[in-house]
Structure 1
Amino acid sequence: MGWAALSELVPYYPLYALLFLDTGLSQAQVSLLFAVWSVTGLLAEVPAGVLADRWSRRGVVVLAGVLQAAAFVVWTAAPAPWTFAVGFGVWGVSGALVSGASEALVYDGLAALGAEGSYARVNGWMTSAELLVQVPTAFAASALFALGGYAAVGWVSVAVCLAAAALALRFPEARGDAGDDEEEALREGLRDTLRRPGLRLTVLAVALLGGLDAVEEYFPVVSGDWGIPTAAVPLAVLATALAGAAGGALAGRAEGLPDRALPALLVAAGLLLGAAALWARPAALVAVSLFYGLYIMVLVVGEARLQHRITGPHRATVTSVAGLGIEIASLPVFAAWALAGAGGVAVVVLVVVPLVAAGLRSRVGQVAG
């Protein structure tokens, strides 16, 4: 949990979208940058999972932190549209490296202790830690911006990413042998995902759910659009982070809810986001916060059900297939925001509910992966 918290203690997070706007980019151009980020992650996702299974999940997480620091160096040293695109490309590779590897690292560590049934609770608390750390991050971002503008925010962010990479060096690593051939490992991971209907549906559900998280990138933007001064934006979005942390902390209990409850929670989340878009006032951030808390709860349960349905040495590869789906699913979210703002994203949330419901049914049995 310490690594999860430190990796999110990045002052750039609540402010980088505003950096882009203040550099002269339009909201549509910002969405294009986010799309560059997603496409890069999409291309790197599955190879990154294979690398984690074949080489070292711990090593891949360390490398991800170093690459993220490099992306922020580029942004801070020479802020411009093209450097933002380059930085997002590097960050996209970093995100691909950490996504499948970190979940596989945690699940296999619990499995080695005979505690894999606790994954939803542990993953929920890790998600909560990542969101709760946004409280000190918001204060740090505001203070650093006041003291030294975006440059101070950027260089401290570089230091935090390197510190998180150093901390990841201490992770234990417990996993089975993935075999000797990388191409064969990739084929096996993809085959296990595609040939088993239960796992296929769960991967699809997690991909659709994870793609919706792209909306988080716009929380600072809507805060500014709805009348919050730039220096106060990091503090204004804290309620959203706290609500998400609460949703993550409750995910362990939510995993035992009836099948129909999780889609209902997602529908409620989508309606709340739509209402906030119509209201478009500072107070509408309350509805955005409630949306995010419900959404994170459903997402963590989905991630846990996916991990429970995978066994074997290709866990990171299969998880990365879901990560690939997440990157693809985030593109319609970026497009919806560019076309219709938060209201457009609310429509996307409601559209994916039937597929999410099918993939998260608890009666789908565990399958080999």
Structure 2
Amino acid sequence: MTDRTPRTRVGGDITGLRRTYWTCHFLRWLPLGLALPVLALLPLDRGLGLGQIGVLFGVYNATSALLELPTGTLADVLGNRPVLIIAALLETAFYLGFALAPTMVALTVAMILGGIGRALASGALEAWYVDRVYAREPAADVRPAIGGAMFLTNVAVLIGSGAAVGVSLLPKGQLPVDLPTSALPFVLAVLCGLLQIVALLALVRGGEGSKSARAGLAELRSVPGVIRESVTFSVQRGNLRLILITGLAVGVGIGAVEAFWQPALADLLADPSATTTMAGLLVAGSTLVGAIGSLIAARLPAAAARRARIVCGALFTLLAAAIVALAVAPTFAVAATAFLFVYLFLELRAPLNQTLLHRASPAGRRASVLSAYSMSTSAGAVIASFGFGAIVDSVGVATVWLCAAAVVALASVAYLRLTPTPRVPDAQGRTVAESALPH
């Protein structure tokens, strides 16, 4: 009797943490689901060209990449809750700015706000959840919860993109605001962003609020040192370094796809007036197959999870093949099918990749390491947006996608070079990664 009660209490506590994690994660991605189908179409409606759209995506990704590690360190030092709330406020401002911005300059400002918000939010909620679970059960398997969150990401984007399609089909005269059809999903995203802020305030708890303002400001002095420590740890530890390489590659591959797929596939349509509907349906379809992929990954048997590096390497190769198929597709149907497979393979890999990352991460620097990985994907997206954006008008989207696919295929080797790092506490109760962290 005496040793059964604690397990029941801990299990119930972890269930509550998982519920909060999933709820807040879903509410963060719902507004993005509304915006995704028209993220490149709205600038087109306002007279921008492909090169300018590439610059906009580059500004967003560069802002996020530059701030990923500092903001992750802020979450480690000041606490995840305040960082998450500020991130939600900035991302909501991004949606509002994009809905109303009439010029390239205004759209750029909105992108900068969105990039800052993305950097702040990156990894903070996941780190909040994983740290609290490992504090209760050091050998807990967090893969199902992370996979469930990724499934909910796709569900949220699916619901949001479906709503965006529905708005695009409404007669113009029945709309309550005088805005382009492509701007209306951003208005709905603002409302969903406000709901996310309320949920974070009500649900996320962790003790950070007990710090005084003076104590919080004093701790900011340690941020540069923590950043240096996290960078050194990430670069020197072989597994983390290899996982960061895969993050850079996936940023290049997916960044190239996301920057140019909407105008490229629109060119294959027989009816140009169906562009917004097409974009919404494809986003919905990609999130549906992505949800299936993340759900399968979260429920893989333990034996497959133990071979995560091999599975991830194979999925990276398949991802590269799907991007190649997208580049050479002769018809809209073929291109749309390839586009869906890109997101299927991406989401099949993601929970396994995150599990590998957590196994190599120290608990006290988890948000920083997660931000370092997100920074690597953002850096890859910057390369795709600025680099490919500079040449896309002269070489074409197909050539850009073939180059991106080559980068992804080469990076699959990095997964195969990973060495096992089981999360088993040592004699002092620390994990492999924590034991390697300098004190």
Q: Structure 1 pair 35/161, CA: closer, same or farther in 2 (3 Å)?
A: same
Q: SS state of the match for residue 154, structure 1?
A: helix
Is residue 107–residue 116 contact of structure 1 (8 Å, CA) maintained in 2? no
Fraction of identical pairs, as percent: 23
2:104 alignment counterpart: 81
> Given residue 156 of structure 1, which amino acid in structure 2 is its aligned partner?
L
For residue 332 of structure 2, the aligned residue among 278, 282, 286 is 282
- Greater shift, 344-353 or 263-272, is seen at 344-353
Distance in 2, matches of 1:332 and 1:121, equals: 32
**Structure 1 residue 292 corresponds to structure 2 residue 343:** yes
Distance in 2, matches of 1:9 and 1:224, equals: 24
For residue 236 of structure 1, the aligned residue among 282, 288, 292 is 282
- Greater shift, 230-239 or 53-62, is seen at 230-239
1:194, CA displacement in angstroms?
Answer: 2.3
1:224 alignment counterpart: 266
2:116 alignment counterpart: 93
1:42, CA displacement in angstroms?
Answer: 1.7
**Structure 1 residue 245 corresponds to structure 2 residue 291:** yes
1:72, CA displacement in angstroms?
Answer: 1.9
**Structure 1 residue 119 corresponds to structure 2 residue 153:** no
For residue 59 of structure 2, the aligned residue among 36, 41, 57 is 36
**Structure 1 residue 9 corresponds to structure 2 residue 30:** yes
Structure ID, larger Rg? 2
Unaligned runs of 5+ in 2: 1-21, 176-180, 422-431
Q: Structure 1 pair 190/352, CA: closer, same or farther in 2 (3 Å)?
A: same
> Given residue 186 of structure 2, which amino acid in structure 1 is its aligned partner?
G
- Greater shift, 148-157 or 331-340, is seen at 331-340
**Structure 1 residue 54 corresponds to structure 2 residue 77:** yes
> Given residue 213 of structure 1, which amino acid in structure 2 is its aligned partner?
I
1:346, CA displacement in angstroms?
Answer: 4.2
- Greater shift, 211-220 or 135-144, is seen at 211-220
1:310, CA displacement in angstroms?
Answer: 0.8
Is residue 132–residue 242 contact of structure 1 (8 Å, CA) maintained in 2? yes
Distance in 2, matches of 1:268 and 1:353, equals: 8
**Structure 1 residue 107 corresponds to structure 2 residue 104:** no
Is residue 72–residue 368 contact of structure 2 (8 Å, CA) maintained in 1? yes
For residue 364 of structure 2, the aligned residue among 307, 310, 313 is 313
Q: SS state of the match for residue 206, structure 2?
A: coil
Q: SS state of the match for residue 24, structure 1?
A: coil
TM-score by length of 1: 0.90
> Given residue 332 of structure 1, which amino acid in structure 2 is its aligned partner?
I
Distance in 2, matches of 1:260 and 1:280, equals: 32
Matches within 5 A, 1:147-186: 147=170, 148=175, 149-169=181-201, 170-173=203-206, 180=219, 181-186=222-227
For residue 347 of structure 1, the aligned residue among 403, 426, 429 is 403
Is residue 227–residue 368 contact of structure 2 (8 Å, CA) maintained in 1? yes
Query: CA RMSD for the aligned pairs?
Result: 2.6
TM-score by length of 2: 0.76
> Given residue 362 of structure 2, which amino acid in structure 1 is its aligned partner?
T
Distance in 2, matches of 1:312 and 1:20, equals: 42
Is residue 266–residue 350 contact of structure 1 (8 Å, CA) maintained in 2? no
1:347, CA displacement in angstroms?
Answer: 3.4
- Greater shift, 182-191 or 79-88, is seen at 182-191
> Given residue 167 of structure 1, which amino acid in structure 2 is its aligned partner?
A
Distance in 1, matches of 2:224 and 2:261, equals: 40
Tell me the alpha carbon deviations over residues 324-350 of structure 1, each in whole angstroms, 9 at most, x when there is no partner.
212211123333463542553343233
Q: SS state of the match for residue 250, structure 1?
A: helix
Tell me the alpha carbon deviations over residues 223-276 of structure 1, each in whole angstroms, 9 at most, x when there is no partner.
423216124120233221111112211223253446444322222221122123
